[in-house]
Amino acid sequence: MKRSLNLGCHLVACLFLFYLVGLSLTLLLLQNDFIEMRFDLEYLVTMSMGFGLWLYFIAFFMGAPQLAWWTRKGFALAALVATGLIVAWIVVPRGGLPILPAYITRKAWFLGSLLSLPSMNLWLLLWGVAGGWALVVSRQFPRTVPSSTPAHWDRFSSSSRLGICVLFGALGLFLLFYLGQGEFQRTVNQAAAVIARAEVGDVRDYLLSFGAYAAAISGLLMVFQSIIAPLPAFVITFANGLLFGWGWGAALSWSSAMAGAVLCYLLARFLGRPVVEKLVSKAALDWMDGFFNRYGKHTVFIARLIPVVSFDLVSYSAGLTSIGFWPFFWATGLGQLPATLLYSYLGQSATGTVKILFMLFVVVTALAVLGMILRPKLAPVTPKRGEA
């Protein structure tokens, strides 16, 4: 009970302090009309609190008390004084005290449709009292961090720690832009809708809508799918065949898939096995380890020829082995070439939806048969049912 109270107190103190940081930043940037007219700055509060929450978990659940910034007297004092000055300087003179803090907080906490501004002001008052109290108490009762946490922050290599920070930073930045920039959000939603439908015609129309930039967008879509695989690569390869003809389409599909593979390989090199295990699952990595043990340096080439083996899993796994960059590069390039040429040709040849569907059916059936033929050969290293 005492431990939970201590944890809760630190959580409130942390969130409150980062709330103040976000609020101050928002109020300051509101003064810049160029930014204000293009960006919903209120979400800086959301992201600042999210950052605080992230620090809280690393500080207390990954054994890194040095990241508990809210327990530092200087940081807390600076945030409180800065917020007070900004409110007094910007908000009060224009009569915005009953409006701006409540408005910003309400939007940042996604309560726009639930609370009126007067109600939000009452909640803000309570929040201020609770936050101030938590800041004082958390300094008097610092949290002791257990030495045996399952994933200790200090046990990660410096490059892994940097990699984790970069990944979460990128995630935070993306979320901030997604929430705050309306046109960016619309573009993401449209791209996501096209990807989710996974229809060749839709992807083609979407790419065409970018005019001269269609090839660049297609390439980025391919790289994107190489990393997180939201849609089968052959859909993009088909669309490229339709759009650019089989030759140029294949060249574009091949080179962008290569870029995706290289990126996965380098990410794995940079982040190390513990992080990659989180990305692609331990079972999948173990399965690929068996593959590498069995086929050695030819693994990448063989795996690329087998359509049922995940493209990105091979790239991530290769990055964790002693396989050099250029052998990986050439094996991937040669291995993916036949399928790329085939799909591009089919994409160019297919005109009607029925024809596309028929060809997809033929291709998928052929791949399934190929997979069934090859599966017994891979059986000794196939993970148990339900593991992957």
The residues that touch other proteins, with contacts defined as CB under 8 A, are 30, 33-34, 36-37, 40, 94-96, 99-100, 103, 107, 116-117, 166-168, 170-171, 173-174, 177, 181-188, 190-191, 205-206, 209-211, 213, 216-217, 220-221, 223-224, 227-229, 263, 267, 278-281, 283-284, 312, 386-388
Q: What is the DSSP string of 136-204?
A: HHHHHSPPPPPS--SS-GGGS-HHHHHHHHHHHHHHHHHHHHHHH-HHHHHHHHHHHHHHHHT-HHHHH
Helices (H), 296-324: 299-305, 311-319
Distance CA 328, CA 301 (A): 8
In the complex, least distance from residue 208 CB atom to other proteins, rounded to whole angstroms: 9
In the complex, least distance from residue 217 CB atom to other proteins, rounded to whole angstroms: 6
In the complex, least distance from residue 191 CB atom to other proteins, rounded to whole angstroms: 6
Q: Which residues have C-beta within 8 Å of that of residue 260, sequence separation ≥ 6? A: 222, 223, 224, 225, 226, 227, 311, 312, 315
Nearer to other proteins, 290 or 383 (CB): 383
In the complex, least distance from residue 160 CB atom to other proteins, rounded to whole angstroms: 13
In the complex, least distance from residue 294 CB atom to other proteins, rounded to whole angstroms: 23
* Count of helices and strands (H, E) across the chain: 17, 0
Task: Write the DSSP symbol of residue 76.
Answer: H
Distance CA 127, CA 113 (A): 19
In the complex, least distance from residue 108 CB atom to other proteins, rounded to whole angstroms: 12
In the complex, least distance from residue 202 CB atom to other proteins, rounded to whole angstroms: 10
Distance CA 264, CA 70 (A): 36
Distance CA 38, CA 35 (A): 5
Distance CA 109, CA 21 (A): 15
Pair of tokens at residue 298: 């030819």
Nearer to other proteins, 7 or 30 (CB): 30
Tell me if 56 sits within 8 A of 8, measured CB to CB.
no
Distance CA 174, CA 43 (A): 12
In the complex, least distance from residue 209 CB atom to other proteins, rounded to whole angstroms: 4
Identity of the amino acid at 67? L
